[in-house]
Amino acid sequence: MSAVDGLHRPGDSPLHRLRPQVKIVALVAFTCAIAATPREAVWAFGVHALILAGLFALARIPAGWVFTRSLVESPFLVLALAFPFMVEGPAVHVWFLQVSEPGLWAGWNLLAKATLGVWAALLLAATTPVAGVLAGLSRLRCPEILLQITAFAIRYAHLTVAEVTQMRLARLARCDDPRFLWQAGALARSLGTVFIRSFERGERVWQSMAARGYTGRLPLEVGPAPASALQWTAAMTAPAVAAAVAAWTAVNA
């Protein structure tokens, strides 16, 4: 396992068994439902969070893992914290601070939606292996050329990342002390070397492919498997509930 494999956690839950294309569509639908929920409907965000928590439990993903991975959005939380002080509007007193009411709502909106969005994306990333995501995108008619490039990139990223790590270890073993600006020179030269190696490897890979008769198309006759209607129904239940909640709150707001 390396950092290139994404956040996949192997398992055998109903969520792991769902076809990837179904999960991708469900993720997009769920994220749209989150985005469409009005910010004043606080309870609706609770419902969204409960749905996601239930799915995480179903996929046997521990809560601690989800929280650690959610930190990815932390830079945007600074923006969320700044909103109450920057947005104009009637002021309210919270504790001893004077903040604007629309600003508080804006901050809450960003915080809640960003967190829920990351959780939904984590659910896909955790239950679907890399190859599954690519197969799913292929079923969804994603341009084949982009998918092939992506597949190559992920396959060889293992190598390039290992090379970068190995160079760093080699430098450390030779008493390099990477800190602040002094590491920049060595780092940059390593990157240059990795680029030359990657490009040369790309040419070698192409020559081998050409030797085997490659003419610009991968001879793949076995496409990814289609999903049954049952799978589609099961997977779309969560986004459907979320969308219903979002629509209900929008109408009654």
Partner 1 sequence: MEDLALHIPTDVIDGPTSLVTALIAAIAVAWCTVAARRGLDERLVPLAGLATAFIFAAQMLNFPIAAGVSGHLLGGALAAALLGPWLGALCVTVVIVIQALLFADGAVTALGLNVANMALIATFTAYGVIALALKVLPRTRWGLGAAVFAASIVSVVAASAGFVLQFWVGGEPVGQSFGAIAGAILGTHVLVGIGEGVITAGAVTAVAVARPDLVHALRGTPLAQPAPAVKEAS
The interface with partner 1 within residues 163-222 (CB under 8 A) comprises 163-164, 167-168, 170, 178-181, 183-185, 187-196, 198-199, 201-203, 205-206, 209-210, 214-216, 218
Give the residues across from 97 on adjacent strands: 94
Instruction: Rule CB under 8 A: choose which of 21, 31, 138, 249 binds partner 1.
Output: 31
Closest separation in Å from C-beta 231 to partner 1: 19
The least distance separating partner 1 from the CB of residue 158, rounded to whole angstroms, comes to 8
Of 48 and 227, CB closest to partner 1: 48
Judged by CB, which is closer to partner 1: 17, or 144? 144
Report the C-alpha dihedral over residues 207, 211, 217, 221, rounded to 10 degrees. Answer: -130
Burial of 67 (0-12, 13-18, 19+ CB in 10 A): exposed
Dist CA 108 CA 102 (whole Å): 10
Binders of partner 1 in range 98-157 (CB under 8 A): 106, 109-110, 113-114, 116-118, 121-122, 124-125, 130, 133, 143, 145-146, 148-157
Select 10 or 185, whichever has its Cβ closest to partner 1: 185
Q: Do 23 and 136 meet the contact criterion of CB atoms below 8 Å apart?
A: yes
Helices (H) and strands (E) in the chain, counts: 10, 2
**Closer by beta carbon to partner 1, 191 or else 244:** 191
Contacts of 135 (CB under 8 A, 6+ apart): 20, 21, 224
Spatial distance between the Cα atoms of 14 and 236, rounded to a whole number of angstroms: 14
Restricting to residues 58-87, name those near partner 1 by CB under 8 A: 69, 72-76, 79, 82-83, 86-87
